[in-house]
Amino acid sequence: MSAPVTIKDVQVILTQPSNSRLAIVKVITSEDGLYGLGCATFTQRIFAVATAIERHLKPFLIGRDVDRIEEIWNMSMVHGYWRNGPVLNNAISGVDQALWDIKGKRANMPVYQLLGGKSREAAHVYVHADGRTKEEVLDNVQKYIDQKYRYIRVQMGGYGGKDSPMVKPKNAPEGAYFDPRDYARRMLDMIAYVRENVGESIELLHDIHERLQPIHAVQFAKDVEQYKLFFLEDSLAPEDIHWFKVMRQQCATPIAMGELFNNPHEWQMLIQERLIDYIRMHISQMGGITPARNVSIFANMYGVRTAWHGPGDTSPVGHAANLHLDVWHPNFGIQEWYRPTELEYEMFPGLPTIEDGYLYANDNPGLGIDIDEDLAARYPCEDIIEQWTQTRLPDGSPTRP
């Protein structure tokens, strides 16, 4: 019996080809030339994730059998004793995705084949249309329609509608201010305007981004029901998930939830009680492909579909992982897509491609994506103090972003 292939080294590649700081994990094996890539991107705490990998996971992983993905994931999760936090989960995800990439390369199969094979040839995506006014939002929606996108998320003035006029108290501190009540009124008017102009054949989505108090989120979900959204996204904060019972009783607006989830207790109840229609975790935030596969199977039992989080602060490697899950599992719903730059396509050969609103995976072994490390090194991560997450209500009170 041949000796197992083991983990020889674990490296973290930090790069910033666009606005978001990205963390890519490279697991190097004892077999010459064999390595895997995974996404560990938690852009707001990117250096904490890198330290967790380099100082804690790497020493723990050296010498372990690359084939034992389940064992490595479970032991990595409990090895730190405290668990289910965003820094550790992202660090574990980078390794987990890289091990799936390696397993696919060893089997000479794409990861979706290892999961059970394709249920579809490509994944429908939705894209993000914003604007300062409802007219500008409609213009941007029309541009996407012209590019053959059929699922479009409509926002105005950014999350929370930051362009709202408001009166602040004297000596109010700096911050990303928004007025929740004015946001709700203006967004309903914008959605009505866009729906009236594009008709019902274009699927519209909207993201509250947990910006409303629970009772006002329920009211919004009721008020927007008439415009037949494909789904209403993140209408409540993770701390308020029991309010979904109230929302479900009040209206038939389809609900999507999950990008901030870390802990299985946050999603299990929502799925089991059929309180949401789409589960949309950030794959690296929940720990990688291994838990995402398990959630997909669990959600399918209750008719809940997937809509994995796919913004610019998911790395191209993470988007490739999303897509392998998308084309495999039968309960796929929709995939968020951030439209990579030409630089990202150059830096990450094998990055999935879009055509007629569908995202296509290539047939290369593993995740089918690589990284040009020399090019990535030319775009180092900046030291940034995030501004958009310093959110405040009109009176200056800190609130959730």
Kindly list the domain boundaries of the chain, sorted by start residue.
114-365
From 124, 128, 206, 209, active-site residue? 209
Name the band, by pLDDT with cuts 50, 70 and 90, for residue 154: very high
Q: What is the pLDDT of residues 301-332, one digit of tens each?
A: 999 999 999 999 999 999 999 999 999 999 99
Residue listed under structure tokens 């030291």 = 383
Q: Which phi and psi angles does 337 have, rounded to 5°?
A: -135, 135
Q: What is the pLDDT of residue 164?
A: 74
Question: How far is it, in rounded angstroms, from Cα 142 to Cα 152?
Answer: 10
Distances (CA, A) of 239 to 81, 139, 147, 254, 386: 23, 36, 38, 20, 22
* pLDDT at position 165 over 90: no
CATH 3.40.50.620 fits 114-365, yes or no: no
Q: What is the pLDDT of residue 160?
A: 84
Q: What is the pLDDT of residue 162?
A: 78
Distances (CA, A) of 143 to 21, 128, 138, 149, 273: 28, 11, 9, 9, 39
Q: The whole model's pTM is what?
A: 0.96
Q: What is the pLDDT of residue 71?
A: 98
- Read off the pLDDT of each residue in 289-305 and give the average, rounded to a whole number: 98
- Read off the pLDDT of each residue in 149-163 and give the average, rounded to a whole number: 91
* pLDDT at position 348 over 80: yes
From 159, 177, 193, 227, active-site residue? 159
Which DSSP category does 234 fall into? -
Q: What is the pLDDT of residues 60-116, one digit of tens each?
A: 999 999 999 999 999 999 999 999 999 999 999 999 999 999 999 999 999 999 999
Name the band, by pLDDT with cuts 50, 70 and 90, for residue 161: confident
What is the amino acid identity at position 129? A
Q: What is the pLDDT of residue 167?
A: 87
Which DSSP category does 396 fall into? S
The reply to whether 159 belongs to the active site is: yes
Q: What is the pLDDT of residue 45?
A: 96
Q: What is the pLDDT of residues 378-399, one digit of tens each?
A: 999 999 899 999 999 999 999 9
* pLDDT at position 166 over 90: no
Question: How far is it, in rounded angstroms, from Cα 141 to Cα 135?
Answer: 10
Q: What is the pLDDT of residues 224-238, one digit of tens each?
A: 999 999 999 999 999
- H helix or E strand, kind and range, residue 206: strand 203-207
* pLDDT at position 222 over 90: yes
Q: What is the pLDDT of residue 37?
A: 98
Name the band, by pLDDT with cuts 50, 70 and 90, for residue 300: very high
The reply to whether 126 belongs to the active site is: no
102: nearest Cα among 368, 347, 362: 368
- Read off the pLDDT of each residue in 289-300 and give the average, rounded to a whole number: 98
